[in-house]
Amino acid sequence: MSNVAQFVQVKNIDIKQLASQLVSYLRNTKGTSLKQYVSYGIPTLVLYLLCQGRLRYSRARYLEKKYPYTRDTFWRMTDYDAWEIQKSILQLEFPFISLKALQFALFRTYGIPTISSLLARTTQFSDTATSFKRYADTAVLIGEFMAFEPSSLRTHEAIARTKFLHMGYRQSGKILEDDMLYTLSLFALEPIRFIETYEWRKLTDLEKCAIGTYWKSLGDALEISYEKLPSGTKEGPSKFRDGLHWLKEISVWSQAYEITNMKPSAANKEVADKTTDVLVFTLPQFLEPVGIAFVSFIMDDRLRKAMMYDPPNKMYNTIFTFILQTRKYFLRHLALPRPFFMRHDVFTEEPDEHGQNFIKIWEAVPYYVKPTLWNRWGPASWLKRLSGLPLPGDEGDKFHPGGYQTASIGPRYFEGKGISQMEETKAILRKGRTGGCPF
């Protein structure tokens, strides 16, 4: 990455010389007047804004330089390169909005009655007693195969566990293959839509291609059929040119699928209400209606109608729009890029001596979070205490403070099951999912 000293001539101002003058001045500030502070404060602000303007797009330029793919060579993008580019988006460039987009992608699937009715019957998301655990387990599985490289054991285990948990439902027809493809489409498309709508810059074609390449490859690993897409085939290799082509086709199909299948349903609302309870759990009780209004604000008309939610009133619309636009302006014109040491790194890299993994960042309920001194008594923990939120280690083993093994993730009735099936899947992935090009 370039640093300030390298930006010698920006907008006809010698930044290096100006910075040197400011440092020299700050060493001799005793007895200076307010007028002098102002006279040097303005150049300092100008210097900051110039540096900020130059640095703000540095990561996008860095990715373009490190991965010199062009529109004509996107078809050669490897799964590993796609994963690295997407990881930069998730951890450094747009971590907050990317996380919310992935959460909302899962939420959006509940607008399809065939999906929500199954969840309502299993009570995993329709019962508050299990909804937080189900939410945490889903986040672990999706997060693990996004956080670790495609050929890693952690990723293979997360994919294998996901396949096993869906296997019986897919074989019995309780989960439709079209619903699997639709869910996959949302995890690829919603982060792009959220970033394009709410973030300080648009994604580059390189970044979009990486997202398409990554999720196309993941769909292959999960054995999701693309035969409903124009370039997909029931048997044999597909005819997608690259990640952008795959994104375009699955976007068109996903929109058409929603038009046909996203309809109002009592099951939709039941599951949506319980999920909304999870999303607004951290808010004080008097702010919960505001949180629910914000969830409705983020929905489009089709989803809102399917969930049987009322649209937010004009006042909320104005407030939410102002907040999001202000955030976008601040990040674009005033904020510096997130440094690497502040990356949004959710999982511990290595298991502990007992083979357990842990989550390092959590929002509402601390499932799989180690009750360290920092997690229980650090600055952030006091805010959670004051808000009445649970901390790691509270209520005994309820939140699994001892961590997790991927093979045990899922509802209680799946604990200890699926080991042999997972080993078979991992053996296949070791041969086929090595980080190469999925096209």
Residue 3, pLDDT above cutoff 50: no
pLDDT single digits (tens) 60-118: 999 999 999 999 999 999 999 999 999 999 999 999 999 999 999 999 999 999 999 98
pLDDT single digits (tens) 363-373: 889 999 999 99
> What's the chain look like in SS3?
CCCHHHCCEECCEEHHHHHHHHHHHHCCCCCCCHHHHHHHHHHHHHHHHHHHHHHCCHHHHHHHHHCCCCCCCHHHCCHHHHHHHHHHHHHHHCHHHHHHHHHHHHHHHCCCHHHHHHHHHHCCCCCHHHHHHHHHHHHHHHHHHHHCCCCCHHHHHHHHHHHHHHHHHHHHCCCCHHHHHHHHHHHHHHHHHHHHHHCCCCCCHHHHHHHHHHHHHHHHHCCCCCCCCCCCCCCCCCCCCCHHHHHHHHHHHHHHHHHHHCCCCHHHHHHHHHHHHHHCCCCCHHHHHHHHHHHHHHCCHHHHHHHCCCCCCHHHHHHHHHHHHHHHHHHHHCCCCCCHHHCCCCECCCCCCCCCECECCCCCCCCCCCCCHHHHHCHHHHHHHHCCCCCCCCCCCCCCCCCECHHHCCCHHHCCCCHHHHHHHHHHHHHHCCCCCCC
pLDDT interval class at 12 (50, 70, 90)? very low
Residue 351, pLDDT above cutoff 80: yes
pLDDT single digits (tens) 392-413: 999 999 999 999 999 999 888 8
